Structure 1
């Protein structure tokens, strides 16, 4: 069975950060820059110094089929939830979008 590659973006807002969590996130903010953060299979979390909003960008491969986009959206959201959970930070207002990289045409 063939697979399809999706670029999934999960956007949300940090929620209930305490001073220690804010300090830890700020200490690593250079690794999570909004401008240089790209899509990767392990996912890339990006946020700014204000620590309000964030985005998580991840490459997801799913089996081709009628539910592939829904599967990609779910996988991307779970990836973001896992990443945020590993950091021990709260979040809310998750919004998920996906683009199938296989459908992107490059003009030359």
Structure 2
């Protein structure tokens, strides 16, 4: 059985942040810039609080069965919640979107590489 790779995005909105919390998030904004966003096992948070109060966590997980994506999504949502709660950040509208990379269509370079391997 082959391992499947899952990419999960957990999105939400910061809610009722105190002035101190907002200042803390703004102080760390460069670390969480969307241009630095990556899918990682521990989850990467990105936001642009100066523009809007939305945030996105990006998680990388894996499993062997197609159904494992559901468990991976639950783990990602719980990890995002835990991070927010641990820091006392209010949030709302938490939702997730998951993708099984084994089901994703191949890009142009990937198709070309696959064709060359078959020759």
Offset, 1:75: 1.4
Q: Report the Cα distance in structure 1 between the residues aligned to 2:111 and 2:87, rounded to whole angstroms.
A: 40
Where relative contact order (Cα < 8 A, 6+ residues apart) is larger, the structure is 1
* TM value normalised by structure 1: 0.87
Aligned length in residues? 107
Partner of 1:64: 65
Q: Which has the larger radius of gyration?
A: 2
Tell me the residue number matched to 1:80: 80
Indicate the residue corresponding to 2:111 in structure 1: 107
Residues 23-77 of structure 1 deviation map (CA, whole Å, 9 limit, x = unaligned): 1000000000012211101100000033510000000123415x32221221111
Structure 2: unaligned runs, 5 residues or longer: 113-119
Mapped contact 1:47–1:53 kept (Cα < 8 A): yes
C-alpha root-mean-square deviation of aligned residues, in Å?
1.7
